[in-house]
Structures are given as structure tokens and as C-alpha cells.
Structure 1
Amino acid sequence: MHDFLPFAYFQNQFVPFEKANISIATHALHYGTAAFGGLRGIPNPENPEQVLLFRLDRHCKRLSLSAKFLHHDLPADKIQQIIIDFVKKNKPTKPFYIRPLVYSSGLGIAPRLHNIEKDFFVYGLEMGEYLSADGISCRISSWYRQEDRSFPLRGKISAAYITSALAKTEAVESGFDEAILMNSQGKVCEATGMNIFIVRNGQLITPGFEQDILEGITRDSVIKVAQDLGITVIERAVDKTELFIADEVFLCGTAAKISPVNRIENYSLPQERPITDKLREKITAITLNQDPKYKDWVFIIDLN
């Protein structure tokens, strides 16, 4: 049972969450013609009358760009203002997750992006830990990540997540917590909703954008923080065998934050994770607005 925030933004107004309903004939429901975002919010530990949002501007920019793939003009500044108003309307008192979604709202039956209405909604729910902070187990999925030549992978398009759903269920039903997907070239790509990093010989390594990954905002944050800490970061293709002999492996994303990996398939990974721990501690402090150097990453909303 999810604890949804009481109000949603739906059809250009704020309504009670349970009133924000779409038709069963909605185009996006049938064809996946939608794009979404996701960002976390937390009450400010220093001031309960404020809410902190991590990298709000980047999230709004990415969703605006995703909307372009749907042939829809949704400016980032409009998304941002709606999210700010949404938070003020709901006045959340616990850590929460915001889900904005742009979609083809028309009731047409033909798969298309032209000559069909588009709409935008926002809802939220309380959210604690998405994955265990103590570490997780992963399997290599039998499902492969789509290719950019056949799918707009730089957008967070809802239809893409059928692969994530297949891989996640396959992993859980075979005794693992999460799945790691390969791309069509057989290189490591990402997890079902997270980017992946490995540590080898003190260097932080992650698949580059040319490996059909999502342009993750938490991924970008980890890279910048690591570089500021003097850690060498390398973006390149990663082979499957490197996962098994890595010094550290972790997943990162808005929901997952930074999740260390204990085991991949039947290979156990070292329990000492100095770089992962250092990055997780730093990112956590930043999201709590406790690091002056990264204050521009934290958007503060006054609830009164």
C-alpha cells in the first residue's frame, strides 16, 4: 500500500489524488507514448517549514527534452513552477518521491505522435529506501537494453521500461534483488532503473553515453563529486567479466540513491567499499543541504 500525497496536478489544476483519473482509451496507456521524471524531496532537517529538492532544474530540463521525442513542447521552467506549487500544496512531512509525466492524452487508436492531444500530470508518494543500504545481489539479465537507433534512449520514455520490468521480475523470481542489463554489443549497460559504476585499482569506471544508457542525473552528480574528491573517473565500455573481479560495484539513481552490490551471479564482491562509502556519504550530505560547495544543487521550497 502506497501513501500517496493528497493532491495531484492534473489537467491544469490541483485535484485530490483519487480524482486524478484517465480514460481507459488513453493513447499513452496503449502505446507507451509518455515520458516521465522522478525526483526525491525531503523535509529540511534544519527547518521543518522547508522542503529540499535535489537538482530540480536538471530533472525539469531532462523531462522537457523527453517531451520533444513525443512532439510536445513542455518548457522546463513551466515544469519547475508546477512542481514547486505541487510541493507547497501538499506540504509533505516525510521523505517523498515526485512523479511528473507527460503523455498522449487523446483517445485515438492509431500509434502516432502527430495530431493527438498531450497533457501533463504530477503526483507524489512517501518513499523511504528503494533498495537495501546494506548491499544487494544482482544477476545478469537475459533481456538486452534497447538500442538508440531504434529507441530514443536519451529520453525517459515510459515504453522503454517494459524491458526493465521483464528484467526486474526475472531477477527477483530467480532469487536476486536487481538485474544488470547488457547492451546489444554485449557490454554492461545499466540496471532496471539505475546507472552502474565499478571501482578497479582506485579508479571509478562507468559505461559512457554511447553504451545506450540513460543520461542519469544521479550518475552525473556522482561523477562530479568523485572528480572533486580527486578520484579518477573513466567513462568507457565495460565488459561483463569486469563486474566479477571489480573491487567495488554500486548502482545509482534517484530512487535507489547509491546502492552497493554485494554479489553478482555467483561472484561475491569485497565487503570493504571505501570509494562507494565516501561517495554515498558525500551525496547524502549534499541532498541534506549540508555541503556549502554544492548548495546550487539543492532547491529550497518554503511551505509557508
Structure 2
Amino acid sequence: MYNFLPIAYFEDNFIPFSDAKISIATHALHYGTGALGGLRGIPDPQDSTRILLFRLDRHCQRLSTSAKFLHYDISAEKIEETIIEFIKKNQPSTSFYIRPFVYTADLGIAPRLHSIKKDFFVYGLELGEYSSPTGVTCRISSWYRQTDVSFPLRGKISAAYITSSLAKTEAVESGFDEAILMNSQGKVSEASGMNIFIVRNGQIFTPGFEQDILEGITRDSVMKLAGDLGFKVIERPIDKSELFIADEVFLCGTAAKVLPVLQIENFKLPESRPITEKLRDKFTAITENRDPKYQDWVFPVSL
């Protein structure tokens, strides 16, 4: 069971979470015509009167951009102001996750994006570790990542997550923790809700945007951190067979942060993961506002 934060933002008002409800006839429920965001918040370890948000501006901008695919004009500034007020209303005291969501809010059955009401809500829930911090096992999914020619993959559109859900359940029901999806060209794309990196011979590789991946904010952060730490990061297509012989493989995302991969299919990966651990330690320090070089990535909210 999740512990939801008590106050939600719904239909332009802050109301009790339990009262924030939509109709069973809501358009987005039937057609996946929504776009989601997600970001973590933690109490400031150095100041209990503040909450720290990681790269709030980027998260708000991505949701604003995603909303354009729904023909919905909502500014990043509006989203940011709402999230800040949402935190102040809830006064969270533990690590939590925020879910802002834009969607087609009319009641009806015609699939369309024109001449239909759009809306925006925000809720949150307490969230510690999303996955085991020691790492996860993965299988190669039989489901393929969508292609940008038929789906707007530059947006975080809710309908896309049917594929993620199928892949995740397939992985868990076959004895693994997580799924790795290939794209339509048979190259590595991403995990069910995370981007993927591999390490070979001291270099870091990750699929580029042309491999039908999500433009992950944590991915972007990891790439910048790796470069600053002196590692070469190369964006290129990755073959399935490279996963099995990699020195290290790790996943990253808002909920999971930086997550080591222990095994892929029946191939166990090396137990020594120095680059993954260095990146994870650095990332954690930044999110806790312990690294002055990256203070502009951390947005403090005073309660």
C-alpha cells in the first residue's frame, strides 16, 4: 500500500487527496491521452525546514513540452508554481514522489485532441527505494519499444506505458526484476521505465535519442556527471550481445536513481562495478545538496 500525501491539486484547487476523483467516462482514461511527469523530493538533511527537489525546472519543462502533443498549452512556470505550493500544503517529512499529470478531461467517446477540455493535477506519495539498491536482474523483453514514426516518443505520454507494463510483468513473472526492451531495429532501447548504460573497457555507452528512448532527465544528469568525473560517454546503437559481455550495466531514472544490473538473462555480470558506484555516490550527494558544484540542480522549498 502506498501512503499518499494528504493534499492534491485538482481542477484548479488544493483539496484532500481522497476527494480528487475523475469520472469513469473521462476521455484520457479510455484513450491514453495524458502526459505524466515525476520527480522526487527529500527533506534537506542539513535543514529540516526545507524540501529539496532535483532539477525541478527540467521536469516542469518536459511536462509542458509533452502537453503540446495533446494540444494543451500549459507553461512550465505554471507547473512549477503549482508543485511548490503543493509541497507547502502537504508539509512532507520523509522522502516522496510527485506525480504531475496533464490530460483530456472531457467526458466522451470520440478519440481526438481538438475541441476537448484539458486539465492538470498533482498528487504525491511517500517513496523510499524504488528497487533493491543492491541491483536488479533483467530479461530481454519480447515486446519492442514503440517507434517515433507512430508515437510521439519525445513526450512522456501515458499511452506509451502499456508496453512498459507488458514488459515489466513479463519479466517479473519469468523470475526477473526488470525488462530491457529492444527497438524495431533490434538494438537496445531502454528498460520498462528507465534509461540504460553499459561500461566496456572504461568507456560508457548509451543509446542515443534515435534509438527511440525517452529523453530522460536522470540520463542527462548521469552523462554530465560522468564527463565531469573524467569518463568518456558515447551515444550509439548498442547490440543485445554487448549487454552480456559488458563490464558493467546500470539503469537510471527519477524513481530508481542509479541502479546496478546484476544479471541479464542467464549471463551474470561482474560483481565489481566501480564506475556505477562512483556515479551513484556522486548522484546521491548532489540530490542531498552536498555538492556545491551542482547546487543549481537542486531546488529548495522552504516549508
Equivalent residue, structure 1, for 2:221: 221
Q: Which residue identity does 1:196 align to in structure 2?
A: I
Equivalent residue, structure 2, for 1:206: 206
The Cα offsets for residues 102-152 of structure 1, whole Å up to 9 and x where unpaired, read as 000000210000000000000000001111111110000000000000000
Contact residue 7 and residue 14 of structure 1 kept, 8 A: yes
Is 2:127 the partner of 1:112?
no
Matched ranges for 1:229-248 at <5 A: 229-248=229-248
What residue ranges of structure 2 are gaps of 5+ in the alignment? none
Equivalent residue, structure 2, for 1:56: 56
**2 CA distance for matches of 1:163 and 1:157?**
12
Is 2:155 the partner of 1:134?
no
The Cα offsets for residues 135-172 of structure 1, whole Å up to 9 and x where unpaired, read as 11000000000000000001000000000000000000
**2 CA distance for matches of 1:266 and 1:158?**
32
Contact residue 136 and residue 263 of structure 1 kept, 8 A: yes
Match of 2:23, SS state, is: coil
Matched ranges for 1:15-94 at <5 A: 15-94=15-94
After TM superposition, the score normalised by the length of structure 2 is 1.00
**2 CA distance for matches of 1:25 and 1:48?**
43
What residue ranges of structure 1 are gaps of 5+ in the alignment? none
**2 CA distance for matches of 1:200 and 1:89?**
47
Equivalent residue, structure 2, for 1:150: 150
**1 CA distance for matches of 2:246 and 2:197?**
10
**1 CA distance for matches of 2:135 and 2:36?**
27
The Cα offsets for residues 242-285 of structure 1, whole Å up to 9 and x where unpaired, read as 00000000000000101100000000000000000000000000
**1 CA distance for matches of 2:294 and 2:268?**
35
Match of 1:160, SS state, is: helix
**1 CA distance for matches of 2:252 and 2:141?**
18
The Cα offsets for residues 159-202 of structure 1, whole Å up to 9 and x where unpaired, read as 00000000000000000000000000000000000000000000
**1 CA distance for matches of 2:195 and 2:131?**
14
- Aligned residues: percent identity? 74
Q: Which residue identity does 2:293 align to in structure 1?
A: K
**2 CA distance for matches of 1:108 and 1:71?**
17
Aligned residues: 303
Q: Which residue identity does 1:294 align to in structure 2?
A: Y
Q: Which runs of 4+ in 1 moved over 6 A?
A: none
Match of 2:50, SS state, is: strand
**2 CA distance for matches of 1:241 and 1:38?**
32
Equivalent residue, structure 2, for 1:272: 272
Q: State the shift of 1:2 in Å.
A: 0.6
Equivalent residue, structure 2, for 1:177: 177
Equivalent residue, structure 1, for 2:297: 297
Q: Which residue identity does 1:58 align to in structure 2?
A: R
**2 CA distance for matches of 1:91 and 1:279?**
31
Q: State the shift of 1:97 in Å.
A: 0.0
**2 CA distance for matches of 1:200 and 1:132?**
24
Match of 1:123, SS state, is: strand
Q: Which residue identity does 1:95 align to in structure 2?
A: S
Is 2:253 the partner of 1:249?
no
Contact residue 108 and residue 116 of structure 1 kept, 8 A: no
**2 CA distance for matches of 1:115 and 1:24?**
20
After TM superposition, the score normalised by the length of structure 1 is 0.99
Contact residue 44 and residue 288 of structure 1 kept, 8 A: yes
Match of 1:146, SS state, is: coil
Equivalent residue, structure 1, for 2:186: 186
**2 CA distance for matches of 1:119 and 1:154?**
20
**1 CA distance for matches of 2:140 and 2:173?**
13
**1 CA distance for matches of 2:252 and 2:110?**
37
**2 CA distance for matches of 1:125 and 1:288?**
19
Equivalent residue, structure 2, for 1:260: 260
